[in-house]
Amino acid sequence: MSNVSNQIRASSSLIKRFKQRMTNPAALVQCRSFTTLEGHRPTIVHKRSLDILHDPWFNKGTAFSMTERDRLDLRGLLPPNVMSSEQQIQRFMADLKRLQVQARDGPSDPNALAKWRILNRLHDRNETMYFKSIYLLCSLDYESSMLAYKHKWHFLLSVPLWRPDYCSRHTDYELSPFYGQFKVLIANIEEYAPIVYTPTVGLACQNYSGLFRRPRGMYFSAEDRGEMMSMVYNWPAEQVDMIVVTDGSRILGLGDLGVQGIGITIGKLDLYVAAAGINPQRVLPVMIDVGTNNEKLLKDPLYLGLQEHRLDGDEYIAVIDEFMEAVFTRWPHVIVQFEDFQSKWAFKLLQRYRNAYRMFNDDVQGTAGVAIAGLLGAVRAQGRPMIDFPKQKIVVAGAGSAGIGVLNAARKTMARMLGNNESAFESAGRQFWVVDAKVRNVTYWPRILIMNLLSVLTRYCKTTVIDLESLVEAPRISFAYCSSTLNFKNVHGLITEQRENIDPQALPFARKVKEASHQGLWEGASLAEVVREVKPDVLLGLSAVGGLFSKEVLEALKGSTSTRPAIFAMSNPTKNAECTPEEAFSIVGDNIIFASGSPFKDVDLGNGHIGHCNQGNNMYLFPGIGLGTLLSGSRIISDGMLQAAAECLAAYMTEEEVLKGIIYPSTSRIRDITKEVAAAVVKEAIEEDLAEGYREMDARELRKLSQEEIEEYVMNNMWSPDYPTLVYKKD
Ligand SMILES: NC(=O)C1=CN([C@@H]2O[C@H](COP(=O)(O)OP(=O)(O)OC[C@H]3O[C@@H](n4cnc5c(N)ncnc54)[C@H](O)[C@@H]3O)[C@@H](O)[C@H]2O)C=CC1
Ligand SMILES: CC(=O)C(=O)O
Ligand SMILES: [Mg+2]
């Protein structure tokens, strides 16, 4: 696989197979229809919808015109941008060339994207096998995966060269001996989650326009306004249990990826199947393409999404409203998980729909639950009871949808422990210090200039050691913001009530200026300064800024008053983690608790001890929340159900484990933890009288179930990757 010519040579077997097929009469009949396609006479097809997309003879992929998409029930089954065949060839060649350069997502796994491709092809061919045989495939070492490329190159291309971009069912439909030899009985999720989920899924999204072969899921675009109610009927499955939807505006920590964000919905639903046992025929990944503000994608001729700026305001809401109405009309019992919406919309949409539909926002609510479980674990790891949680001092970096979700949930949990009244809520709020950074529109620039200068002066009056160079630099920068850009101001650091145009979501966590000043802090104090003064028990990052927990910040954390400071570097993917576990253990000390959003390896501390790296990711909760909601038949997803899920995860770890610094289970236990979380959600839905039952288990029957019976009920409803017996029946 060293260069393109080698790759093309390797695919010659594919061309040979095509020639062989051409000599057999059945193939020739099909060939005639191919000839008519070449000519300008129409070809009669007896298929519609996905059957066409899966037929290499008729499939044109992204080149189907809008009228053909309407005529053939294809609307919504393809990304919205119609491509010419020349563009398809260009896209294919660009992708082929890109493979010359090894894909990288950090030094840990240079072959990650290649593995993702292999898995994706298998997913397209054979779902059961995909979920079953993943284990060895993913644990292939470098040599074996190179070998795989060399000998089974057509699996990766999945495109016969004689008809570029038309995927071939015939060449890759069967499970090859390559996969056959790696047949294993149980999927090893620990190995495959990093490929189909974070971090590699991020890389896949970034390259999705190049990687796209067969469509998976549905696309609703701003162009489809007024059509969505009929479009949902283009999806072939009669029943859909779980939809994960994104508008691509904030994919992991990678920003606005537009239509390419559909990759994350596919990755999340893979976990629904693998962890929660949701039947893969009943999941639906959805992309709502309302444009993109990513300038690079707007200019990219090969981008598959709408090349216009994002819809905003009422127009945007109207599109999402129409989508929600359409899917709930066709599938009234579906559950919709909102994923990776920019915070501007995440909260508004959650408030808009949560009492009307079975929906939740994973980044806001799923992440909050996982963080609470981890924070309680960190208290236990200090050898203290969970009830001591309200005494923890917590510094949070990043007040976006995830950060605010965590802050709200943590504050409520503390308040409950303190007596669940107003004063408990007030005093809980004082345990948090929030640091954020935003670029804001500023209209009254002279006033801002004065405020900036004042804040710089305050800052240097408070600092004991004055760095002369930065003292000169800082006012100049402040002045530059105000004079050269006039309309923008970079607002950053500790949030206090002094902050201008503060986000309403962040307002409840703004520190009182007087209080801050008593602590030696001020509006806009840097993260390092906050950590130094507060000496927190926990430092939690949801900022999407890789390396934000710099050496200076980690050094400052050494002053923590905790016997066992905890660091949650939760941003994804790997390169966006606020720090690595190596940095954390080496700078702060061996005794810390460490968790990250994407997986890292444990750290050898060199003294016979291991620094445990926990994965603090919402994957431990969302599959169980979805499954529990489905099986309870709850009308909505209540705060109580989410809280029950979080508490279940927190209680899952044994005392022995938490004392070792293990606060989250290993991903290999995800199916078991998901079962327990789902059971907790079902139980809570019953207690809140929200459960309406599922299939033959009606609400009355549900209420009679004991704890063990609920768990058994959940387990019995989890799909397993076994081939069913197939029987043909005429329509
Ligand atoms: N581990 C997990 O389960 C989850 C992790 N995440 C990760 O969290 C990150 C943030 O996600 P969202 O909150 O949805 O995004 P967001 O864009 O809504 O929030 C990010 C926040 O960080 C702030 N920020 C930017 N630079 C900063 C700096 N230098 N210092 C302090 N704050 C800064 C931004 O102003 C913004 O408020 C992403 O990387 C995402 O992948 C999100 C959900 C779950
Ligand atoms: C894990 C997740 O949902 C995120 O990073 O956005
Ligand atoms: Mg997310």
Q: Say which residue the tokens 């408990």 belong to.
A: 424
> Which ligand has the minimum distance to the alpha carbon of residue 342?
1
Centre of ligand 2 to C-alpha 363, Å, is: 6
Tokens found for residue 310: 């994002």
List the single range of 64-78, 168-182, 664-678 with lowest mean pLDDT: 168-182
Cα–Cα–Cα angle for 21, 214, 576, rounded to 5 degrees: 140
Does 223 count as an annotated binding residue?
no
Q: If we measure between CA atoms, which residue out of 198, 207, 203 comes closest to residue 96?
A: 207
Q: What's the whole-number mean pLDDT along residues 688-708? A: 97
Which residues are catalytic, by number?
197, 268
pLDDT band of 724, cuts 50, 70, 90: low
DSSP 496: B
Distance CA 5, CA 159 (A): 16
CA distances from 180 to 159, 176, 475 (A): 22, 6, 66
**CA gap 155, 580 in Å, rounded:** 35
Contact 157, 139 (CB under 8 A): no
Q: CA nearest 491: which of 528, 525, 517?
A: 525
Contact criterion met (CB below 8 Å) for 596 and 616: yes
The answer on whether 537 is annotated among ligand-binding residues is no
Q: Quick one: residue 150, left, alpha or beta (phi over 0 = left, psi -120 to 50 = alpha)? A: alpha
Ligand 2 atom with the smallest distance to the CA of 619 is: 1
Please list all protein residues whose beta carbon sits less than 5 angstroms from ligand 3, which is an ion. 340, 363
Judged against a pLDDT cut of 50, whether residue 529 lies above it is answered with yes
Calculate how far, in angstroms, residue 707's C-alpha sits from the geometric centre of ligand 1. Answer: 37
Q: Which atom of ligand 1 is nearest to the CA of 503?
A: 37
Q: Do 54 and 214 form a contact (C-beta atoms < 8 A)?
A: yes
Q: Which fold has domain 364-442+487-618?
A: Rossmann fold (3.40.50)
| Residue in 349, 304, 344, 365 with CA at minimum distance from that of residue 64 | 304
Let me know how long the chain is: 731
Any atom of ligand 2 within 6 Å of the Cβ of 684: no
- For the record, the structure tokens of 312 come out as 């905003």
Distance from Cα 63 to the centre of ligand 1, integer Å? 37
- Could you give the angle at the alpha carbon of 650 between the alpha carbons of 644 and 651, nearest 5°? 90
Does 572 appear as a known binding residue? yes
**pLDDT at res. 35:** 34
362 lines ligand 2 (CB under 6 A): yes
Q: How confident is the model at residue 27 (pLDDT cuts 50, 70, 90)?
A: very low
Residues 6+ apart with CB under 8 A from 674: 275, 276, 277, 620, 623, 624, 627
pLDDT in tens, 389-448: 999 999 999 999 999 999 999 999 999 999 999 999 999 999 999 999 976 554 444 444
- CA-proximal residue: ligand 2, atom 6 (nearest): 252
Q: Which of 365, 392, 415 is nearest to 564 (CA)?
A: 392
Decide if pLDDT at 103 tops 70: no
Evaluated on CA atoms 400, 403, 407, 409, the torsion sign reads positive
From the CA of 338, the nearest ligand is 3
What's residue 6's pLDDT? 45
Would you say the CB of residue 572 lies under 6 angstroms from ligand 2? yes
Report how far residue 118's alpha carbon sits from residue 714's, in angstroms, rounded to the nearest whole number.
32
Contact 303, 258 (CB under 8 A): yes
Maximum alpha-carbon separation in the chain = 89
Residue whose CA lies nearest to ligand 2 atom number 5 = 252
Instruction: Tell how far the Cα of 362 is from the centroid of ligand 1, in angstroms.
Output: 14
Q: pLDDT, tens digit, for every residue of 547-597?
A: 999 999 999 999 999 999 999 999 999 999 999 999 999 999 999 999 999
Q: What is the pLDDT of residue 215?
A: 86
Res 123 pLDDT > 80: no
- Range 330-352 average pLDDT: 98
The C-alpha atoms of residue 722 and residue 280 are separated, in whole angstroms, by: 12
Task: Give the residue whose CA is nearest to atom 27 of ligand 1.
Answer: 437
- Residue 266's pLDDT is 93
State the Cα–Cα distance between residues 582 and 656, nearest whole angstrom. 23
CB atoms within 10 A of CB 606: 10
Give the pLDDT band of residue 300 (cuts 50, 70, 90): very high
Per-residue model confidence (pLDDT) at position 720: 81
Q: Taking the domains of the chain in order of start, what are their residue ranges?
A: 1-50+84-187, 364-442+487-618, 621-716
What DSSP assignment string belongs to 172-235? HSSPPHHHHTT--SS--HHHHHHHHSTTHHHHHHHTHHHH--S--SEEEEGGGTTTHHHHGGGS
For 362-371, 581-590, 667-676, which range has the lowest pLDDT when averaged over its residues?
A: 667-676
Among protein residues, the one with the nearest Cα to ligand 1's atom 29 is 437
Ligand 1 closest atom vs CA 253? 39
User: pTM of the prediction?
Assistant: 0.81
User: For the residues of 153-164, what is the DSSP string, one character each?
Assistant: HHHHH-S-TTST
pLDDT given for residue 477 in this prediction: 37
671 contact partners, CB below 8 Å, separation of at least 6 = 189, 274, 275, 277, 718
The predicted pLDDT at position 213 comes to 79
How many other C-beta atoms can be found within 10 angstroms of the C-beta atom of residue 177? 10
What is the side-by-side order of every strand in the sheet holding 432-441?
488-494, 432-441, 394-397, 538-541, 566-569, 593-596, 613-615
The mean pLDDT of the chain is 81
Cβ–Cβ contacts within 10 Å for residue 547, how many? 15
C-alpha 339 to ligand 3 mean position (Å): 5
Count of CA atoms in the C-beta half-sphere (13 A) of 446: 0
Residue 723 has what DSSP assignment?
Answer: P
